[in-house]
Amino acid sequence: MSVLIFVETTEGKAKPSSLEAVAYGAKVAEMLGTSAVALVLGEAQELEKLGNYGASKVLHAADSRLNVGVIQAYANAISQAVEKENANVLILAKSSLADTVAARVAGKLKAGLASNVVELPDLSDGFVVKRSIYTGKAFAKTAINSEKKILAIKKNIYPFTPTDAQASVETFTPTLSDADFSVRVINTEKASGTLSLPEADIVVSGGRGLKGPENWGIIEELAQVLGAATGCSKPVSDLHWRPHHEHVGQTGVKVSPNLYIAVGISGAIQHLAGVNSSKCIVVINSDPEAPFFQAADYGIVGDAFQVVPKLIAAAKQQ
Amino acid sequence: MKILVCITHVPDTTTKIKFINNNTQLDTNGVQFITGPYDDYALSRAVELKEQFGAKLTVLNVGTAETEPTIRKALALGADDAIRIDAEPTDAYLVAEQIAHVCKQNNYDLIMMGRESIDFNGGQVHGIVGEMLGIPSVSPVMKLDIEGNVAKMAREIEGGKEYLEATLPLVVGCQEPIAEWKIANMRGIMSARTKPLQVIAPVNPQELTKSLSFELPPAKGACKMIPADEAEKLIELLRTEAKVL
């Protein structure tokens, strides 16, 4: 018996959300009286450091075909690791890849999968998780009744402090066939050098109140000074002022950062659905009646072009 | 070509969510139900592919009789026929098993649905169906073209896109901007009334998960307002009071 945590990597390094998943998984393992095993697919470095987050062992499949996330191959490799480690709980950090891989693993292992999990499981009567539903508008307490269980956790739900502990690294060689690679990745287009929106601890978003894409400089500068990722509202992405992968909301990216700063976004219910699990929300809008103020922790009624430069100047002063 | 589009019947995106019966049930009083927005994208793209290739387009819903108006809307948009599997869609594995059962009898080339439903946001059904049928599944797909028996796709990833190719048959979870949303015309609405809608009983319905109760997020405290001419004070408050900087 063990708890297996799938660790997603970018350019050979574990994603921050996956480190949180390892820490969360280590706690679940402790609750179950067992150990936490991390699984890394593709070429990667510094894996013994996953011990800092509570993994006692790391399974590593250093197969270069797995350097890009191939859905079927990943699902097959993860399922084999679950069987090998006799894991009864599999944990993943939600992402574009992990979500769809988790679904296939659930089908393969006939495992109950709970997505958008926001707390540690309650083991007092069965195995019950709290998960976010209705796109962040509510929560469900859901019992997972299958023998094998899969939890896809939301970002920023489990505080943790890394230690100096090291994990042992074990080579893992899943049996993969050509069929597992039948979906061919032709090309990847990725904004380079910018912080990934779902991974960011701080997000600065702009809306139609900025009046045009040429005015995004102040959003980008504030984001840069704060170490934040940039986002936008749906109208802004529909107007092609910003790329679709920056659209935050009900049908776009859902974020749960420590700090969400909305500039010139009125706060339609569909936008709120994508941000309502942020720890702290700041709203800057020239309209005092903007509904977003009701969901905010801090608000400034004013012209973005005057307010944001002041924030940039203040943030630059340590 | 045969295309299946699976749709969900969910509360409108503007719904104020409330629960009844000791927080065990959604209060549907005054709630307007719609086709899942992601499913609408899948359906709109499927209608375009049908027009391009002369495909046969079937729409499927796992749900009770009250979902039929939603199914009729899909028929009005251009689906040829519909299947309703008469079961409460309470668990992703249960829903996927029903869909996979229909697929095994019909050999669809393309099985499309939204990336996730907007009620439980699980995003699981496409993957489980793909696994049950032993065929690839790809999600979230924002562009889909068919050339011969090859699907050419763009999948949204964090900060960008990934371009993929796969041989049919295939399951895809769709999202915007895969197609423009379509609005049914009067001819579509009239013809939808007489298009076949077959109701079938579920097979072997088994739930792996069960939702026991629901709750709403805690109420937000009052918003602290900062005068615009003292905007710089916000940074100080975020550092010392909210401790998020």
Task: Tell me the CA distances in angstroms from A316 to A280, A281, A312, B100, B126, one per residue in order.
Answer: 20, 20, 6, 57, 47
List, for residues A101-135, the tens digit of each pLDDT value: 999 999 999 999 999 999 999 999 999 999 999 99
The owner of tokens 């109701």 is: B199
Which architecture characterizes domain A202-316 according to CATH?
3-Layer(aba) Sandwich (3.40)
Mutate to test the interface with A, among B153, B209, B220, B237 (most CBs of A within 10 A): B209
User: Chain B: nearest CA to A174, how far in angstroms?
Assistant: 18
Structural domain boundaries of chain A? 2-181, 202-316
Compute the distance between CA of residue B164 and CA of residue B141 in angstroms, rounded to an integer.
10
Percent of chain A with pLDDT over 90: 90
* Domain B2-218: CATH superfamily, name plus number: HUPs (3.40.50.620)
Task: Tell me the CA distances in angstroms from B166 to A283, A291, B5, B138, one per residue in order.
Answer: 44, 44, 18, 9
A chain contacts of residue B145, beta-carbon cutoff 8 Å: none
Is A2-181 a domain of CATH 3.40.50.620? yes
This complex has an ipTM of 0.94
Restricting to A residues 107-146, those with a Cβ less than 8 Å away from any Cβ of B are: 107-108, 110-116, 128, 132-146
List, for residues A231-261, the tens digit of each pLDDT value: 999 999 999 999 988 999 988 899 999 999 9
Instruction: Measure CB to CB from residue A144 to each of B156, B157, B209 and give the nearest one.
Output: B209
Closest by Cα among A274, A14, A280, A13 to A154: A274
B chain contacts of residue A186, beta-carbon cutoff 8 Å: 163-165
User: Chain A: nearest CA to B75, how far in angstroms?
Assistant: 24
List, for residues A10-41, the tens digit of each pLDDT value: 889 999 999 999 999 999 999 999 999 999 99
Which residue of chain B comes nearest to A272, CA vs CA? B14
**Cβ pairs bridging A and B (under 8 Å):** 268
Whether the Cβ atoms of residue B197 and residue B178 lie closer than 8 Å to each other: no
Q: What per-residue confidence (pLDDT) applies to B204? A: 87
Q: Do domains A2-181 and A202-316 have the same CATH topology?
A: yes
Compute the distance between CA of residue A204 and CA of residue A215 in angstroms, rounded to an integer.
14
Average pLDDT for A172-176: 97
Q: Could you write out the DSSP letters of every residue in B16-28?
A: ---EETTTTEE--
Average pLDDT for A75-96: 97
Whether the Cβ atoms of residue A101 and residue A214 lie closer than 8 Å to each other: no
Number of alpha carbons in the 13 Å side-chain half-sphere of residue A138: 24
User: Chain A: nearest CA to B193, how far in angstroms?
Assistant: 30
List, for residues B90-102, the tens digit of each pLDDT value: 999 999 999 999 9
Q: What per-residue confidence (pLDDT) applies to A318? A: 67
Please report, as a single letter, which amino acid is at residue B16: K
Res. A195 pLDDT band, cuts 50 70 90? confident
Closest by Cα among B53, B90, B102 to B200: B102
Contact: B96, A107; criterion CB under 8 Å: yes
**pTM of the shown model:** 0.92
Query: Looking at the predicted structure, is the pLDDT value of residue A192 above 80?
Result: no
Average pLDDT for B201-216: 95
Mutate to test the interface with B, among A10, A68, A95, A183 (most CBs of B within 10 A): A183
Query: Looking at the predicted structure, is the pLDDT value of residue A193 above 70?
Result: no
Gyration radius (Cα) of chain A, Å = 21
Which residue of chain A comes nearest to B130, CA vs CA? A104
Mutate to test the interface with B, among A142, A150, A154, A308 (most CBs of B within 10 A): A142
